[in-house]
Amino acid sequence: MISENYFSDNQDLQEQFNSIIDWKELVNNFEGDFDDAKEYSKSGMEELAMAPNNLEEALEFYKSSLDSLGELVGKEISPIVKEMDEEGLKFKNGKVEFPKSMITAVQKIIDAGLLPYSIGRRLGGLGLPGTVQVIMSDLISRADGALGITIGCMNLAETVERYGSEEMVKEYVPKMARGELCGAMALTEPNYGSDLPNIQTKAVQSQDGTWKLTGTKRFITHGCGFGDIPSIILTLARTGSPTSGAKGLSFFLVKSEDVEISSIEKKMGLHCSPTCEVVYENTPGILIGKQGYGLVKYSMAMMNTARLSIAAQAMGIAQAAFEEAKKYASEREQFGKTINHIPAVKRMLDFMDREVSGMRSALLEASRSIDLYHWKSERLKHGGMEDRDIRKDEQIRKWEKLAGIFTPVTKYYITEVANKIAYDALQIHGGSGYTEDYDVAKIYKDVRITNIYEGTTQLQVVGAIGGVVAGMSSTGILRGYIEEEASKISVSGEWSKNYKLFQEIVENYQNQKDTSFRDSIAFEVVESFARVWIGLLMERNANRVQGEARERRKAQFVAYNYETLAILSANQVKTKVA
Ligand SMILES: Cc1cc2nc3c(=O)[nH]c(=O)nc-3n(C[C@H](O)[C@H](O)[C@H](O)COP(=O)(O)OP(=O)(O)OC[C@H]3O[C@@H](n4cnc5c(N)ncnc54)[C@H](O)[C@@H]3O)c2cc1C
């Protein structure tokens, strides 16, 4: 892997951090009145020692965390990941053994004080906004996709922090913050993957009020814990009748010491990420929150964060693929010149360059949408306000709805395009790309799962279509957002043409009477939205930088918009005919 600081040496990320992200808006929402710093000066609570006092300190804190992580993963960890992946996992007597180098890599991140970033400061975490968290996942996954998901699992405490009882939070979250516990999310079963509302693992309550779970979960990442660190397995199980659907599902905290790991999968990629079959047999579980809210509320909330973190994982892997392809193409000579000067190769590299920038724009806008509603609603909740009153807040309603659209769209778009980037990166390596001599082979295998787990692309489309179509009604929230963002800049004629085409595509979809045909063209509608949205973000972002960066970004959005025009013209036809 290319060895450099994955944060400070990445031009796109630097422009995003220094000029594009609206930190004032974000810090205002996340840090509130800088309550953590105020509490520290009052009580001297040690966990809050790093809490920022103002915007400048907040930015310095976020930046230095990203810079240290970029240095660590880019310079110390990236050189060992190939060897780590080749060694892989071993499964003996129900126990998973990790390569020593991986345990060391995670320990280095813990020792650097960079974990866990999703947990609040008062409970011992770094307390970073979602926008900084996704950049962290992006940096780690550029070094190694498996490491990215391990660190993601060590950040899973957020769900317990949000929905667990006070005792549960006190008992488990600080242990996770100290790196004494890992997290796992157990939803999938052998017969129910996408079809989560029908899962059958059963939870039964005893006379004394305790719960016991029985069933089998498949494909559970880190169900086994990590090295000597056990996991808390956040498990979806049925408390209602077998046919009670989504409303009969509840959420439980289960200790990995209490389940049997019957096997781990032998996978095409992510060789250091344990994918476990987990057997529950009268296994004790602690109910999280209320019965019946397991899927409809808690898993959905957890999945939105997890989906964005998989999008960030794919983002980092795509960046790695692009960097490897760029390097190889600048060294490999054919026909008397390096192949990056051959138009067909340059075309692939230019595609990667603009897509990486467009994908990251989508990722950061999706995390912005979460940051703009989540923290305010958490503050109101802690202040004692009821959920139904919180929902009346206009800002919260707007950004929560937008986040419900942007999250599945971002997950689908980034993971699909990351696969295409890895495919082209391997192509640029020619025959060498098909050997294990170059890192691109590992990258190609690792990225393949990203558009499958945390909900396949098809399921992201199912999750997004309703919001996209309803949001584009004459008073819809999505239309309002697009038109407001577009009015802040002077948008190009090409973008305006694409926006008009997208509206026609939505109308075509709405006019289809045949529901099964309509379902089959949902992809074209969501794809069209993704391209119009990302095109707009790319134009907006070009406006936020100066000089050479603006010219480069302008050339990128012009090319992106032309490609969008071709895709949307085809989608216009495809959605019209039955
Ligand atoms: C490496 C790895 C790690 C994983 N980690 C976890 C984990 O930690 N926790 C966990 O709970 N799960 C985990 N999973 C499971 C993963 O989330 C599922 O594999 C995924 O959701 C798809 O389910 P499935 O494999 O059963 O496919 P299916 O649901 O059987 O889908 C097969 C195909 O049918 C399509 N399809 C199905 N239903 C629809 C529909 N309604 N509309 C359109 N298309 C549809 C799908 O898109 C797909 O193309 C992991 C899987 C892997 C491989």
Asked if 198 and 283 sit in the same domain, the reply is yes
Nearest Cα residue to atom 38 of ligand 1: 194
Q: What is the pLDDT of residue 345?
A: 98
Distance, CA 464 to ligand 1 centroid (Å)? 17
Arithmetic mean of pLDDT over the chain: 95
Handedness of CA 280, 283, 284, 287 (dihedral sign): positive
What is the mean predicted confidence (pLDDT) over 233-249? 95
Measured CA to CA, the distance from residue 115 to residue 127 in angstroms comes to: 10
113 and 200 belong to one structural domain: no
Residue 372 lies in a domain: no
Query: What pLDDT digit, counting tens, does each position of 197-224 carry?
Result: 999 999 999 999 999 999 999 999 999 9
193 and 55, same structural domain? no
Pairwise CA distance, residues 434 & 258, whole Å: 43
Residues 128 and 76 in one domain: yes
The gap from C-alpha 538 to its chain's centroid, in whole angstroms, comes to 20
Whether 496 is covered by a domain: the verdict is yes
Out of 292, 312, 346, a domain closes at 292
The three-state (H, E, C) secondary structure of 428-460, written as one string? HCHHHHCCCCCHHHHHHHHHCCCCCCCCCHHHH
Whether the pLDDT of residue 301 is over 80: the answer is no
Last residue of a domain, one of 273, 292, 311: 292
Give the Å distance between the CA of 509 and the centre of ligand 1. Answer: 26
Residues 240 and 201 in one domain: yes
Q: Of 292, 315, 333, which residue constitutes the final position of a domain?
A: 292
Q: What is the b/e burial string over 317-347, where b = at least 16 CB atoms within 10 angstroms of the residue's CB?
A: bbbbbbbbbbebbeebeeeeeebbeeeebee
**Per-residue pLDDT at 147:** 97
Ligand 1 atom with minimal separation from the 457 CA: 47
In a domain, 361, yes or no: no
Please check whether residue 334 lies inside any domain of the structure.
no
Residues 149 and 209 in one domain: no
pLDDT reading at 297 higher than 90: no
What's the rounded mean pLDDT across residues 181-206?
96
**Residues 141 and 187 placed together within one structural domain of the fold:** no
Once rounded to an integer, what is the mean pLDDT over residues 120-143?
95
* Pair 10, 96 in one domain: yes
Mean pLDDT of 466-481: 98
Which neighbouring-strand residues pair with 285? 211
The C-alpha atoms of residue 321 and residue 421 are separated, in whole angstroms, by 7
How far is Cα 407 from Cα 543, in angstroms, rounded to an integer?
24
Residue 388, domain member (yes or no): no
258-269, pLDDT tens digit by residue?
Answer: 999 999 999 999
Nearest to 366 by CA among 553, 120, 533, 525: 533
Question: How many structural domains compose the chain?
Answer: 3
Asked whether the whole model's pTM tops 0.75, one would answer: yes
Region for 425 from its dihedrals, namely left if φ exceeds 0, alpha if ψ lies in -120 to 50, beta otherwise: alpha
Confidence band, pLDDT 50/70/90 cuts, at residue 578 = low
Same domain flag for 546 and 471:
yes
More confident residue, 298 or 536: 536
pLDDT confidence bin for 118, thresholds 50/70/90: confident
C-alpha 443/C-alpha 452 separation (Å) is: 16
pLDDT at res. 379? 82
Q: Of 465, 460, 529, which is closest to residue 501 (Cα–Cα)?
A: 529
pLDDT at 303 over 80: no
Confidence check: pLDDT of 547 > 70: yes
Q: What is the pLDDT of residue 388?
A: 86
Taking the C-alpha atoms of residue 470 and residue 36, their distance in angstroms, rounded to an integer, is 39
Please check whether residue 271 lies inside any domain of the structure. Answer: yes
Mean pLDDT, residues 314-339:
98
| Residue 306 domain flag | no
Q: Say yes or no: 9 and 150 in one domain.
A: yes
How far, in whole angstroms, is CA 20 from its chain's centroid? 20
Neighbours of 423 (CB within 10 A): 15
Residue nearest to atom 7 of ligand 1 (CA): 220
Domain assignment present for residue 466? The answer is: yes
pLDDT tens digits, 439-465 = 999 999 999 999 999 999 999 999 999
Nearest atom within ligand 1 for CA of residue 223 = 8
Task: Please report the atom of ligand 1 found closest to the CA of residue 273.
Answer: 1
First to last CA, the chain: 48
CA of 453 to the centre of ligand 1 (A): 6
Q: Determine the average pLDDT of the residues in 109-113.
A: 92
- The pick from 194, 236, 256 for probing ligand 1's pocket by mutation, whose C-beta has the most ligand atoms within 8 angstroms, reads 194
Residue range of the domain that includes 539: 457-576
Residue 363: partners with Cβ closer than 8 Å, 6 or more residues away: 134, 138, 308, 311, 312, 315, 410, 414
Distance 192 CA to ligand 1 centre (A): 8
- Identify the residues whose C-beta falls under 6 Å from ligand 1: 185-188, 193-194, 219-221, 267, 270, 275, 449, 452-456, 458-459, 462
Whole-number percent of the chain with pLDDT over 70: 100
pLDDT, tens digit, for every residue of 384-427?
A: 888 888 888 999 999 999 999 999 999 999 999 999 999 999 99
- Separation of alpha carbons 284 and 292, rounded Å: 18
* Per-residue model confidence as pLDDT tens digits over 134-175: 999 999 999 999 999 999 999 888 888 888 899 999 999 999
Three-class HEC string of 83-129: HHHHHCCEEECCEEECCHHHHHHHHHHHHCCCCCCCCCHHHCCCCCC
State residue 318's pLDDT score: 98
The pLDDT tens digits for 481-514 are: 999 999 999 999 999 999 999 999 999 999 999 9
Q: By three-state DSSP, how is residue 251 classified? A: strand
In the prediction, which pLDDT does 299 show?
Answer: 79
* Residue that the structure tokens 């980037």 belong to: 421
Domain identity same for 23 and 143 = yes
Full 3-state SS string of 384-423: CCCHHHHCCCHHHHHHHHHHHHHHHHHHHHHHHHHHHHHH
Predicted pLDDT of residue 350: 98
Predicted confidence band of residue 82 (pLDDT cuts 50, 70, 90): very high
Asked if 143 and 215 sit in the same domain, the reply is no
DSSP state of 293: -
Residue 211 is part of a domain; what is its CATH number? 2.40.110.10
| 310 contact partners, CB below 8 Å, separation of at least 6 | 411, 415, 450, 453, 454
